Chain A
Amino acid sequence: MRTLRALPTLWRVGVAETIAYRAEFLVWMLTTTIPLIMLALWTSVASEGPFQQYTSNDFVAYFLAALIVRQLTSNWIAWQMFEDIRMGVLSMRLLRPIHPFAAYGISQAAALPFRSVIAVPVALALLASSGVHALTTNPLQLALIVPSIVLAWLISFGLNFAIGAIGFWVTQAFAIGGVYFTLYTLLSGYMMPLDLMNSKFPTLTTVAWSTPFPSMLAVPIKLLTHDLPTSEVLRLLAMQAAWAIGCILLGLAVWRRGLRHFEAVGG
């Protein structure tokens, strides 16, 4: 209840932070442009003829969808938390009568409008000009894109919160953030469609699908670019929802255990 009342204020603070540190914000945005590079790579490969079943246009649709989803769902809360723990800023956050999970969450969500302003028009224009017939026309899927992206955001936030809370035990936890990003790049379909990976590394693809990573990227892209039967759509959404709940609970659990280790560095 208290959190709800503070929400508009927290939101305004988040917006102000984004504007105040706009250069840093822009840099974070630019780090999520890998899909454009992968797009350049795969389309030039496919220009010699379709790669497996993927044509040049399919790759355009896939990676631009990836760009949109990534822009809207990525967050860097783990890095923020490492800094807060290392510099002792966390003490201040703990004194506030709002769970840091909500506070961090709102501050990240407040950056979303800015990200869509920058990223979405570019991607939509490109998508419309060169890949529109590779998009889905199924109304159910179009309706479920937004919930799917919200679930992807929650999974990403829950995992990042859990990683950030590891900072309670390890002072130099940046390496763990690196491991997370490596796994994400490897297993989420960030560098290539998971279908392509399946033909060469079937075991790895099975492993990938049993982790939360595809739910963060590959699933929304799939909803956006493939026509799927209703049962498959619902199965994918259910999988995302399960991971979202799991990752949030994980984040909160790691946080609760870690808090007991908090040594309030600095002060």
Chain B
Amino acid sequence: MTRYLQLVGIQLRVSAAAAMQYRANFIIQGLMTLGYIALTLLPLGVLFGGRSSVAGWDLPSALVVMAYFIGVHAVVEGIVSPSLVDLVERIRNGAFDYVLLKPVDAQFMVSASRYEPWKIIDLLGAIGLVVYSFHLRGSPPSPVDLAAGIVLFVAGVLATYSLWLACAATAFWVVRMDNLVYLLGSIFDVARWPVQVFRGMWRFVFTFVIPVALMTTFPAMAMLGHASWRLTVATIGGVLLMLVVSRTIWRIAIRNYTSASS
């Protein structure tokens, strides 16, 4: 266990050093965060400009979902995505051999081997948005709801991570998947909306098939105090299931790895 922590420490240092090398990216990243939050808020503004509530969600509550969306996105883009891009590249050029040779779990190596420290700006933006929406609502969340909201935030990140890992594992079969990140990004885009806004088939798909509801809607409901204990427990159970399934897919996929280097 300590070995894993040490590894995380080393990789964080390396990533920080790499990030400081490209300082121009800091300004670009800051601007992008602003643009990104504007982009996220704009349809919401239009929607709630014409309606006071949509599918039971008013503006401040929907803003909390948005904040969760930005927050989960920041963590995933900051920790998981860069590593998975590396994974796809390594499978293609055969460097994945060296990952397998290392005396730690390969899934750990590919899940958190590179970080994008600048993404912390996005996370701060998300926290700011939560504070602002509770200011609009007029009352802060109760300590219990706050705690549940934070626990489910972690659950949301893990749910997203599972889906990402499962998709990245397909790179073992179809070698060229450089653009995977963009696909995952556009799936995840759904998570900016409360799942109740969708109807019929779509809501079913986004709750059970591509469970974006676990990533943002249910955690936001917990923070807002709208989630029953059953929903909270079901969310955590669902996320655990996703972790197990993605781990299984990963193990099957890794068995299919035929080195490209020799």
Contacts and interface: CB of A to CB of B under 8 A. Distances in A.
Interface string A175-217: 1101100110110000110001101110010000000000000
Interface in A143-180: 170-172, 175-176, 178-179
A175 B42 contact: no
A83 B50 CA distance: 44
Interface string B33-77: 001101100110111011100110000000000000000000000
Contact of A37 (B39, B45, B189): B189
Size class of the A contact interface (CB-based, 8 Å): 35 or more
A45 B38 contact: no
Interface string B97-127: 0000000000000000000000000000000
- In the complex, which of the residues A21, A171, A176 has the most CB atoms of chain B within 10 Å of its own CB atom? A21
15 contacts: A21-B176, A27-B177, A37-B190, A40-B199, A41-B197, A47-B199, A170-B24, A172-B22, A175-B28, A179-B31, A182-B35, A186-B35, A199-B46, A201-B45, A204-B42
Given A31-B179, A191-B43, A199 B186 contact: no
B150 interface: no
Interface residues of B, number: 38
A3 B102 CA distance: 50
A230 interface: no
Q: 6 closest pairs, A vs B, by CB? A: A23-B174, A200-B49, A44-B199, A40-B202, A175-B28, A24-B176
Contacts of A31: 179, 182-183, 185-186
A121 to B, nearest CB: 21
A200 B197 CA distance: 21
Contacts of A191: 42-43
B7 interface: no
A178 B202 CA distance: 28
A172 B189 CA distance: 24
